[in-house]
Chains A and B, each alone.
Chain A
């Protein structure tokens, strides 16, 4: 067998995620304090787990309809209206997916044809670029800047648009920077897009986790609903990562196209998870509030600790990561993180794992207990002191 001939170039040329590479280093070392993981450290609230268990006890083990149970789509529609003033028809405009990840994959596959340009602001989550490439699309990277609070600006967007631009990815609240887009920022983006046929994939998986301003959905801004596919899910807000459940809300003209791919590739999202998710949507607000409050304390604690040891650090406004600027230490992100791991046993992720513009930064997750973060901070301090 000549495997080299079997795998198409667009697959073989994909690089494994830079975060992944670092995890492997971590696994080899004992006594490591890791701040690398990008999922909640909370367990799914018990009443939500019970709803899933209960559905199993009642024998709800069949497929659901392709787009998800009517009850869940109804609950999602009500939730989007209640939380973000959005209006989506549960039957024709909402698709329940296998996590936010499938929502991103579906959207790109449904829209991106070979040669189409997809504008991707970075630093950002690692999957947009590879999926775009698999579709034959051409990623056009916008490097967001620390001095702009890692927001996407209208000027940057305007400069990136060509007549081949098909899709703009809006990854806010942002992993890894913690940046958010406020209403005025989104209005400026909407103004640039007005009159074009450019679609928007708004990845709002961290939409429940903002700390000093309420999340504004891109789709709620004037002129945006018609061009926006909203991708979100249950993983981050409800600590339901392992349930693999997300959703898409998209205009009725677009949703059926996405649904076809979902139908053929996935059939339907896990049934047990859908039953649990209804409970999350209807009765999960206080859980989200509790977790948000806890993350917020850790966010302040971690940023305060880093700043106190002289590390520049943008105060993140959403998600659960801080993205300190480590360029003052005269090392690449990889060097800094590898030495920190080797010399003090603390694992964080080099910023360039999220795009070249992440060079000079590192991602630190605060989906960990304060005690754990405190231990890591002590060791980071010792490391920083050893450098001076």
Chain B
């Protein structure tokens, strides 16, 4: 059922009891549905959106475009598999358009990111070009807008 997934995608902390009431189901049904989704790999995990800029963490993130010459019979898979394992890599997408793989990475400093690209990504066989774009500011991620928490400004009328 999509509605359960929609709710969880926006807020995975809602209790089973609350979900059951919201969707007019039994608590046991909700638990089972979630377990099934987890087992089938529909639900892959639960994470927290953190605005790290509001903490003292020093970090930079970057989007790296990679151009690839795919190997006969192996497509982009082989290259993707080589990149996927690095803990620095936050996201990896195969793209249409003027480049092939988009790699989102995070590092402590620009220098660290630059070295990672030069040493780990550019050196992979079949990677023919890289282009690194540093993220200057995050405005919105996964539908969440960064900034101050909204205040209820509705006036009292009736």
Q: Identify which of A37, A126, A304, A305 contacts B156 (C-beta below 8 A).
A: A37
Name the distance in Å between A33's Cβ and chain B's nearest Cβ: 11
Kindly identify, within residues 295 to 326 of chain A, every residue whose CB is under 8 Å from any CB belonging to chain B. Answer: 297-298, 300-301, 304-305
List of B residues within 8 angstroms of A305 by Cβ: 21
Given known A-B contacts A293-B3, A297-B7, A370-B14, A38 and B22 have beta carbons under 8 A apart: no
A39 contacts partner chain B, Cβ-Cβ < 8 Å: yes
B158 near A17 with CB under 8 A, answer yes
A297 near B22 with CB under 8 A, answer yes
A54 contacts partner chain B, Cβ-Cβ < 8 Å: no
Q: Identify which of A36, A38, A300 contacts B23 (C-beta below 8 A).
A: A300
A300 near B158 with CB under 8 A, answer no
A23 near B7 with CB under 8 A, answer no
B18 near A370 with CB under 8 A, answer yes
Name the distance in Å between A126's Cβ and chain B's nearest Cβ: 6
List of A residues within 8 angstroms of B23 by Cβ: 297, 300
B156 near A300 with CB under 8 A, answer no
A300 near B21 with CB under 8 A, answer yes
Given known A-B contacts A293-B3, A297-B7, A297-B23, A20 and B156 have beta carbons under 8 A apart: yes
Name the distance in Å between A378's Cβ and chain B's nearest Cβ: 11
List of B residues within 8 angstroms of A125 by Cβ: 158
A300 near B3 with CB under 8 A, answer no
Most buried by B among A36, A297, A374: A297
A41 to B154, CA, bound (A): 8
List of A residues within 8 angstroms of B20 by Cβ: 304
A17 to B3, CA, bound (A): 39
B119 contacts partner chain A, Cβ-Cβ < 8 Å: no
Kindly identify, within residues 4 to 57 of chain B, every residue whose CB is under 8 Å from any CB belonging to chain A. Answer: 7, 11, 14, 18, 20-24
A162 contacts partner chain B, Cβ-Cβ < 8 Å: no
B141 contacts partner chain A, Cβ-Cβ < 8 Å: no
A19 contacts partner chain B, Cβ-Cβ < 8 Å: yes
Name the distance in Å between A101's Cβ and chain B's nearest Cβ: 10
B22 near A298 with CB under 8 A, answer yes
Please tell me the number of chain B residues within 8 Å of chain A, measured between CB atoms: 15
The number of A-B residue pairs with CB atoms under 8 Å apart is: 41
A27 contacts partner chain B, Cβ-Cβ < 8 Å: yes
List of A residues within 8 angstroms of B3 by Cβ: 293, 297
Name the distance in Å between A83's Cβ and chain B's nearest Cβ: 23
List of B residues within 8 angstroms of A126 by Cβ: 158
B58 contacts partner chain A, Cβ-Cβ < 8 Å: no
A127 to B158, CA, bound (A): 9
A128 to B21, CA, bound (A): 35
Name the distance in Å between B4's Cβ and chain A's nearest Cβ: 10
B22 near A36 with CB under 8 A, answer no
Q: Identify which of B7, B11, B21, B158 contacts A304 (C-beta below 8 A).
A: B21
A26 to B7, CA, bound (A): 31
B154 near A37 with CB under 8 A, answer yes
Q: Which residue of A lies closest to B6 (CB)?
A: A293
Q: Which residue of B lies closest to A302 (CB)?
A: B21
Kindly identify, within residues 110 to 158 of chain B, every residue whose CB is under 8 Å from any CB belonging to chain A. Answer: 152, 154, 156-158
A19 to B155, CA, bound (A): 13
A27 to B155, CA, bound (A): 11
Most buried by A among B20, B21, B24: B21
A39 near B22 with CB under 8 A, answer no
A90 to B154, CA, bound (A): 33
Q: Which residue of A lies closest to B14 (CB)?
A: A370
B156 near A27 with CB under 8 A, answer yes
A41 near B7 with CB under 8 A, answer no
A371 to B151, CA, bound (A): 14
Most buried by B among A20, A23, A26, A300: A300
Most buried by B among A41, A126, A298, A304: A304
14 contacts between A and B (CB under 8 A): A20-B156, A20-B157, A23-B156, A26-B156, A125-B158, A127-B158, A297-B3, A297-B23, A298-B22, A300-B23, A300-B24, A301-B21, A305-B21, A370-B14
Point out residues on B near A: beta carbons under 8 Å: 3, 7, 11, 14, 18, 20-24, 152, 154, 156-158
15 extra A-B contacts, CB within 8 A, seeds A293-B3, A298-B22, A305-B21:
A20-B156, A20-B157, A20-B158, A23-B156, A37-B156, A38-B157, A39-B157, A297-B7, A297-B22, A300-B21, A300-B22, A300-B24, A301-B22, A370-B22, A374-B18
User: Which 5 pairs show the lowest CB-CB distances between chains A and B?
Assistant: A304-B21, A23-B156, A297-B22, A301-B21, A301-B22
